[in-house]
Structure 1
């Protein structure tokens, strides 16, 4: 029987907060149980394993991330949408490092295909890129380029991986200029010939 006041939503929310504070790799059922002052066994009513706990965090975080991206690109297209999308991506990754890490995990198909947040993130990403006039297969290639760029930058930023004295924000703006220029001149004809 579930402990009174302990719900799946509360467990997921606490796990997400803990992931941000201790890191996703250090998130455990025991840590969440300690947060609530209950035994590990009391939590297993709500999550069956650590993997399931991580999946709950990923689904919850994806919904929050998708909401953040949607607000950032609403009513924008082209470069404005790209900058809004990129800045929202960066802010989420830096502010919620554990939750961000969870959104990047490969989830089991039965979880990932039912995660509305993950599906919205994909839709928002592709919609932003369609503003550059891209269609398949260039659209998928461009998404991989953008995701790799933003993920790489934010992953380095969250571990203080930029030691050069140049301001990180200045580098970010230059990168956005480069991404915009690349997307505006995507090599579609070369791809179609291959």
Structure 2
């Protein structure tokens, strides 16, 4: 069986995700992907629209995995427990998939309905959990930005080796999420 026999878009995305997680998103090139799959670079164009197309597919895949992790962690939970579970799942995803995680950070570009749908699915899940805090529609969006900023900052520092002190990072994460919850509890609908 030749290496091309099982070549499809899903296979390409999974292989590219492996490269991203093992070597970094910058190392995901068509040449690297072709080498990993044992094919010539031009044959990739039968399944993807160049490097930008591959990066968009990776972002959709990453957002789908992130959503699945956060959804599974928070199912059946409400309030503080759900926020903690989703936050821990978010960081768990960033730890397990550091390269793929990087693809999930940008706002979806216009003209990419799959990426927009995947992004909106993650956003809707977070808003659903935060709705119990009665922040109002605009307040929920501000809270989502704050939540993502805190968790991304934590993930970025951790992934780059920025936590050098001999303290359990999971304890730090738990305290960070608790601080966030205390903060959104103090927000009013007027803000």
Same fold by TM (over 0.5)?
A: yes
Any conservation in 1 of the 2:135–2:188 contact (CA below 8 Å)? no
Give the distance between the partners of 1:77 and 1:145, measured in 2 at CA.
Answer: 19
| 1:114 match | 114
Tell me the SS of whatever aligns to 1:173: helix
Any conservation in 1 of the 2:70–2:86 contact (CA below 8 Å)? yes
Total equivalences in the alignment: 187
1:26-45 equivalences under 5 Å are 26-45=27-46
| 2:134 match | 133
1:88-167 equivalences under 5 Å are 88-111=89-112, 113-115=113-115, 116-167=117-168
Any conservation in 1 of the 2:88–2:173 contact (CA below 8 Å)? no
When the two chains are superposed, the root-mean-square deviation of aligned CA atoms in Å is 1.4
Task: Decide which moves more: 163-172 or 56-65.
Answer: 163-172
Runs (5+) with no aligned partner, structure 2: none
TM-score under structure 2 normalisation? Answer: 0.92
Deviation at 1:107, TM superposition (A): 3.2
TM-score under structure 1 normalisation? Answer: 0.91
Runs (5+) with no aligned partner, structure 1: none
Q: Deviations over 1:123-162 (max 9, x none)?
A: 1011111121121211111111111000110111111111
Give the distance between the partners of 2:18 and 2:24, measured in 1 at CA.
Answer: 10
Deviation at 1:34, TM superposition (A): 0.4
